[in-house]
């Protein structure tokens, strides 16, 4: 179900924002970015080697690029968790890979893999980039139950230069080893906590693990749920404030009054949180019941503290030729209009990326029963809130 309404130049001028893309994977086309129709690109970092590239695009095209720095789960096995052991303890390469990979890797494979990097070092580097770019996001981060690690590429300085789900079809040899979910979670949670500390939004990858992903967020949210009023309670309080005569004053809604609370409460509100303020579940493909987990409050008088957005693409989770539409229609219908984002998730800047964004807008507009321009305006407002927070 896609909209067939014309897509004009004035439509692009309204501002279409790519919430998740990877142009650093094809830097030869990066110079095309200024001439693209898209208003902005939210450029993801995935591993140590591409973080400087993300930073360079943000410096070269500050009006067009919003940088995002993170370590993707496909590269999580290259990270050694040094946060729980004794300070200064030596890392045993064989023990690391034997512990974090499923199955038992051979001596030859372990020998060919690089020495893993310390998690503490990774977090320090991410922090440096995030402090350099005050509006930057944390991403792409997450967990993935399905991917298998490839055999090391001897021509690359890393275990592999770029890993995508199509690598097996493209001839890259994949091992039978996966990264344990426990290890992926450690790398993921460390980055979520960094985002919470610096009050940054995150772009999240989750494949074949929708329940586990939600459980991780719920664990970090526990004890930080936000109190809300029912409509009935709000009406009662307003009547009391309005009809109480002298000595009574009008009280704003509880949710709206958080920023105006006393210094003690304000100090609590400003303290670093162990969870990000805003989350984008990129290329969201979970069933409608999983969506409802994020949208259903933990109790009638509380809500989850992070604002969760759901991003859709015509290249990954809404491809008619792949039979995705039947599955995705109910999910898109169920996402509130103020939580929807679009993305290309492509690895090269240019016309194909613009076309992918147009396709995603058409999908959302068609399913939501909206005009194209109306949909673009709505998506632009959502993107600004996701990246920058409440801009009203």
pLDDT in tens, 204-247: 999 999 999 999 999 999 999 999 877 776 677 667 766 654 44
Neighbouring C-beta atoms of residue 383, cutoff 10 Å: 26
CA 15 to chain centre: 21
The answer as to whether 264 is a domain residue is: no
Using DSSP's 3-state secondary structure scheme, residue 354 falls into helix
> Looking at the 3D structure of the chain, how many domains does it have?
1
Tell the residue number behind the tokens 């109190």, with chain if given.
Answer: 227
The CA–CA distances, whole Å, from 319 to 283, 288, 324 equal 11, 18, 5
Which residues have CB under 8 Å from 47's CB, separation 6+?
A: 71, 72, 75, 78, 158
* CB neighbour list of residue 53: distance below 8 Å, 6 or more residues apart: 24, 27
* pLDDT at res. 23: 98
Residue 260 lies in a domain: no
In a domain, 59, yes or no: yes
DSSP-derived 3-state class of residue 142: strand
Residue 268: the pLDDT is 59
pLDDT of amino acid 240 = 72
Answer yes or no: is 255 within a domain.
no
Residue 89 lies in a domain: yes
Q: CATH no. for residue 61?
A: 3.20.20.140
Q: Distance (Å, rounded) from C-alpha 56 to C-alpha 232?
A: 53
Indicate whether 245 belongs to any domain: no
In a domain, 130, yes or no: yes
**Contacting residues for 119 by C-beta, under 8 A, at least 6 apart:** 79, 80, 81, 82, 83, 186, 187, 190
Domain that includes residue 123, residue range: 17-226+271-388
My answer on whether omega of the bond before 140 falls inside 30° of 0, hence cis, is yes
Q: Considering the domain boundaries, does residue 21 fall inside one?
A: yes
Q: Extract the residue ranges of the chain whose pLDDT is less than 70.
A: 1, 85-89, 154-172, 233-234, 237-238, 241-270, 316-325, 391-392
Q: What is the pLDDT of residue 263?
A: 46
Query: CA–CA separation, 305 vs 151, rounded Å?
Result: 41
Tell me the pLDDT tens digit for each residue of 342-368: 999 999 999 999 999 999 999 999 999
Q: What is the pLDDT at residue 327?
A: 75
């Amino acid at each position: 179900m896609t909209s067939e309404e014309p897509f004009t130049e004035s439509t692009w001028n309204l501002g279409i924002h790519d919430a998740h893309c990877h142009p650093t994977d094809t830097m030869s086309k990066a110079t095309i970015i200024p001439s693209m129709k898209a208003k902005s690109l939210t450029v993801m970092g995935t591993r140590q080697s591409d973080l400087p590239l993300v930073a360079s695009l943000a410096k070269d095209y500050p009006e067009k690029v919003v940088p995002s720095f993170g370590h993707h789960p496909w590269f999580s096995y290259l990270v050694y968790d040094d946060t729980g052991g004794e300070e200064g303890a030596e890392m045993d390469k064989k023990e690391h890979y034997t512990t974090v990979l499923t199955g038992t890797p051979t001596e030859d494979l372990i020998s060919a893999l690089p020495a893993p990097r310390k998690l503490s070092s990774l977090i320090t580097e991410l922090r440096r980039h995030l402090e350099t770019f005050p509006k930057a996001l944390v991403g792409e981060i997450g967990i993935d139950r399905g991917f298998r690690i490839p055999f090391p590429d001897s021509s690359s300085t890393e275990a592999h230069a770029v890993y995508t789900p199509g690598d097996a079809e493209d001839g890259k040899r994949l091992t039978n080893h996966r990264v344990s979910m426990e290890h992926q979670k450690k790398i993921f949670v460390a980055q979520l906590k960094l985002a919470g500390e610096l009050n940054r939004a995150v772009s999240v990858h989750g494949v074949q693990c929708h329940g586990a992903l939600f459980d991780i967020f719920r664990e970090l949210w526990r004890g930080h749920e936000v109190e809300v009023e029912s409509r009935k309670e709000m009406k009662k309080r307003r009547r009391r404030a309005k009809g109480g005569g002298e000595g009574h004053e009008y009280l704003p809604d509880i949710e709206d009054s958080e920023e105006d609370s006393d210094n003690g409460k304000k100090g609590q509100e400003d303290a670093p949180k162990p969870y990000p303020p805003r989350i984008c579940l990129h290329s969201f493909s979970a069933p409608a019941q999983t969506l409802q987990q994020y949208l259903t409050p933990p109790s009638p008088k509380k809500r989850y503290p992070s604002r969760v957005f759901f991003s859709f693409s015509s290249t990954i989770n809404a491809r008619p030729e792949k039979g995705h539409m039947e599955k995705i229609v109910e999910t898109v219908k169920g996402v509130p209009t103020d939580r929807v984002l679009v993305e290309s998730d492509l690895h090269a800047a240019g016309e194909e990326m613009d076309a992918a964004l147009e396709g995603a807008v058409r999908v959302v507009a068609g399913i939501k029963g909206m005009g194209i321009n109306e949909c673009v305006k709505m998506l632009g407002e959502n993107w600004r809130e996701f990246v920058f927070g409440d801009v009203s």
